[in-house]
Structure 1
Amino acid sequence: MTLSIASGFATRLWRRAAVAGLSFLFVAAVGTPAAQAQLRVDISGVGATQYPIAIADFSGSGNTQVPEIIRADLTRSGQFRLISAAGATLDLESTVSHDEWQARGADYLAFGSVTQDGGQYTVSYRLVDNARKAELDKVAFSGTEAELRRISHRIADRIYEKITGVRGVFSTRIAYVLQTGNGYELQIADADGQNPQVMLRSRQSIISPAWSPDGSRLAYVSFESGKPVIYIQTLATGQRAPVANYKGNNSAPAWSPDGNRLAIVLSRDGISQIYTINADGSDLRRVMRSPLIDTEPRFTPDGDSLVFTSDRGGNPQIYKVPAAGGDAQRLTFSGSYNISPRVSPDGSQLVYVTRRNGAFRIATMALSTGSEQLLTAGPDDQSPSYAPNGMQILYSSIQGGQSVLAVTSTDGRVKQKLSSLSGKVREPTWGPFTD
């Protein structure tokens, strides 16, 4: 068995399996707020195009949370330049002076109201194009006070899409593993890192979380039984069940686009190889046979193929194979170490971790041409994951000696750092659109 994927997923998994005989404590904690402080967002860079927009304070109950969240969402994207709306008094029925707002520098203006009736809130908003003197959007949402953050994200998504033509991802969620002094936590949070919730706690390692295509379930690997076992957990209820618990290592789950099957990695025959299996644990099928390690499979968006990491060529590189089995095709040729592949939602690009001059960096490659772009500088950037609209990439990073979640735009221009006050953040994955 080769150890050439020295710093990659496979060897980390073997190392954890070797020490997994320690005692453990497992607690399922559905919806439990995370104990550590919420994540702080630092932003650098701007997009190639920035849209000047003003977000006025919302009238009504005096709630300031909604416009603040919308402003923060649009700012984080790097594609909007926020114009001050200070001194403006607008309600939902106001007549907008488009020329006045254009004179302020705002091509677009969003405003609205928040009203309360008992425990129910109604958030109404309008979006106008000042240059064209036209209304672009008008909608109302209702919910409880606890749902105001999600409503705000949905409004930001609508603004983003109406102006850019691309669906927004502010109301999506992310998942990641947090290693603390007490063990490991599988957490989910809003895409901005806020509102973290603990889905699972364990004394032993939790690795490789993967969202189901409908966002209702997570597959992951837990070492709680003394060896790596693949589980699927329903987020709404906390109910979970083992899907793969074969002899040896069970690792690297990845969902098919229809949510019916998983690609997984098993060492039941002595070396890590790729299989597919139904989400209920039935109908295990081996994809191919290789004399060396095959790991980290991911379905392509059409579900027809898998991309994966293998050292079959002497060092870890990324390959592609039909999901039903067949001959593998090598995809990466730049550098001697390329791992952790993910295909963009539109199928045009590949993102992965590459090692250059001793630094682990995030790179993308155009699948049609093989052209590569390095997006990050390292020194230790890992586990890239595309946003569901394909415009950003989430990854884990060591920056200033601190373990953080980070986001980069796919052109590398805009970067975000979501920093936590305690713990090591690992293996992030961006969830799908859910409505």
Structure 2
Amino acid sequence: MDWNSLGAEFVVVGMYTAGSDGNLESSVLLFNVADGGRIMGKHYTGYKREDYRSLSHRIADDIYKAIMQIDGIAGTKVVYISKRGNYKEVFLIDADGENERQLTNDRNLNVLPAWGANSTEIYYTSYKDFNPDLCGVYITGTGSWFISRRAGINMSANYNEARKLIALTLSMDGNSEIYTLDRQGRNPQRLTNNRAIDCSPCWSPDGSLIAFTSDRSGSSQIWLMSGGGGNERRLTKSVAYADSASFSPRGDKIAFAGQSSRGGRFDIYVINVDGSGMQKLTRGEGDNENPSWAPNGEHLAFASSRTGQYQIYIMDADGSNVRQLTKQGENYSPDWSPFFN
């Protein structure tokens, strides 16, 4: 086969065997068409027949890294809220839009899921006990528990693995403020103290900074502060409204949802941590909200109403190559997983 005449740059050659014991094995070779050199050669074992998707994701990610020198996202997942009937439950889906599964069955209103400790836990807010309480559930869908049941809101959790802390919004003191808790919901530390509404915290990867939403300047904008509180400074200044900050995995950029004029459509923006280089990634196709970075920093997940009802989409980090991820129900508030070990 003359691969050059077909415009191919790389060729993958692979084979697999399915043993009578139910185990899968696969061998994969990757070649550079230009010089015929072998780029990658790997043999995969230890997969059950029912784990064929995990095996294919592993192969895809290894090929991607061999070519691009960046970790692939085929093996990652996105957690989100799905409205089915009268209830909003926590759902999980693979990054290719397959293998959707329901994690909670609270038969109530659940909102704002986020990845938690060890990439095996999901934290979310539930109204199942008649108060917006912070709960946890394992990604297997088992072992739901309460984390924080303080009076008022317990919402917008964001876990940082480096600090082993949850940043969240609490209103137990009568106003919406940013706090940190440990995984068990203990040792609350108040980080903001302002009469304005402070909410929706997001850690930088190393835990040195927290981005959050505040209306202390008159309208909701993205602010930054140190990871332990203090040194607060406004980040967004050229949009009418900004919310839902998400730090990039490299810690150099923040994605957020914003309005260019009050009452207008929400779009996804990206800005450098120093406040420079703001870019608008979506442009008026419905409302576009709740951005979340892929763990390799090359893609973003977000919720959009562009088809008439909210669905989860992913796009490249420059706003190109938009793909719809979910198709059933109405879906909100995606949070992209870290890499799994």
Please report the RMSD computed on the Cα atoms of aligned residues, expressed in angstroms: 1.5
* Cα contact 2:192–2:198 (8 A) shared by 1: no
One of 292, 305, 322 as aligned partner of 1:398:
305
Instruction: Answer yes or no: is 1:234 the counterpart of 2:138.
Output: yes
Amino acid of the structure 2 residue aligned with 1:416 = R
Question: What is the deviation of 1:160?
Answer: 1.1
Instruction: Answer yes or no: is 1:112 the counterpart of 2:14.
Output: yes
Unaligned 5+ segments in structure 1 are: 1-96
Deviations 1:374-421 (A, max 9, x none): 11123211110000000000001012213211111111222112241x
Check 1:359–1:169 CA distance in 2 against 1; reply closer, same or farther (3 A cut): same
How many residues are treated as equivalent by the alignment?
Answer: 336
One of 254, 263, 278 as aligned partner of 1:372:
278
1:161-176 matches, cutoff 5 A: 161-176=65-80
Check 1:146–1:240 CA distance in 2 against 1; reply closer, same or farther (3 A cut): same
Question: What is the deviation of 1:281?
Answer: 1.6
Partner residue in 2 for 1:125: 28
* Cα contact 2:117–2:164 (8 A) shared by 1: no
Partner residue in 2 for 1:208: 112
SS at match of 2:58: helix
* Cα contact 2:303–2:333 (8 A) shared by 1: yes
Instruction: Answer yes or no: is 1:361 the counterpart of 2:267.
Output: yes
Instruction: Answer yes or no: is 1:294 the counterpart of 2:198.
Output: yes
- Cα distance in 2 for partners of 1:219, 1:298 equals 14
Question: What is the deviation of 1:365?
Answer: 0.7
* Cα contact 2:178–2:198 (8 A) shared by 1: yes
Question: What is the deviation of 1:237?
Answer: 6.5
Amino acid of the structure 2 residue aligned with 1:105 = G
- Cα distance in 1 for partners of 2:202, 2:307 equals 31
Deviations 1:298-324 (A, max 9, x none): 111110111000000000001011121
Amino acid of the structure 2 residue aligned with 1:431 = S
Amino acid of the structure 1 residue aligned with 2:313 = A
1:175-324 matches, cutoff 5 A: 175-212=79-116, 214-236=118-140, 238-258=142-162, 260-324=164-228
Deviations 1:10-39 (A, max 9, x none): xxxxxxxxxxxxxxxxxxxxxxxxxxxxxx
* Cα contact 2:103–2:141 (8 A) shared by 1: no
Deviations 1:240-287 (A, max 9, x none): 321111111111111013262100111111111010011012211111
Check 1:214–1:305 CA distance in 2 against 1; reply closer, same or farther (3 A cut): same
Deviations 1:79-117 (A, max 9, x none): xxxxxxxxxxxxxxxxxx7xx222332110012112111
Partner residue in 2 for 1:21: none
Question: What is the deviation of 1:236?
Answer: 3.7
Amino acid of the structure 1 residue aligned with 2:16 = V
- Cα distance in 2 for partners of 1:202, 1:183 equals 8
Question: What is the deviation of 1:369?
Answer: 5.3
Question: What is the deviation of 1:159?
Answer: 1.2
- Cα distance in 2 for partners of 1:259, 1:234 equals 20
Partner residue in 2 for 1:433: 339
1:134-149 matches, cutoff 5 A: 134-142=37-45, 143-149=47-53
Amino acid of the structure 1 residue aligned with 2:11 = L
Largest Rg, 1 or 2: 1
Deviations 1:160-188 (A, max 9, x none): 11111111011111111110114122111
Question: What is the deviation of 1:288?
Answer: 2.2
Deviations 1:47-67 (A, max 9, x none): xxxxxxxxxxxxxxxxxxxxx
- Cα distance in 1 for partners of 2:287, 2:323 equals 16
* Cα contact 1:229–1:244 (8 A) shared by 2: yes
Question: What is the deviation of 1:356?
Answer: 2.4
Amino acid of the structure 1 residue aligned with 2:114 = A
* Cα contact 2:88–2:111 (8 A) shared by 1: no
Question: What is the TM-score of this pair, normalised by structure 1?
Answer: 0.75
Question: What is the deviation of 1:130?
Answer: 1.5
* Cα contact 1:158–1:168 (8 A) shared by 2: yes
- Cα distance in 2 for partners of 1:431, 1:199 equals 15
- Cα distance in 1 for partners of 2:86, 2:265 equals 30
Unaligned 5+ segments in structure 2 are: none
Displacement over 3 Å in runs of 4+: none
Check 1:428–1:237 CA distance in 2 against 1; reply closer, same or farther (3 A cut): closer
Deviations 1:312-363 (A, max 9, x none): 0000001011121213111000111011001100011110001124110000
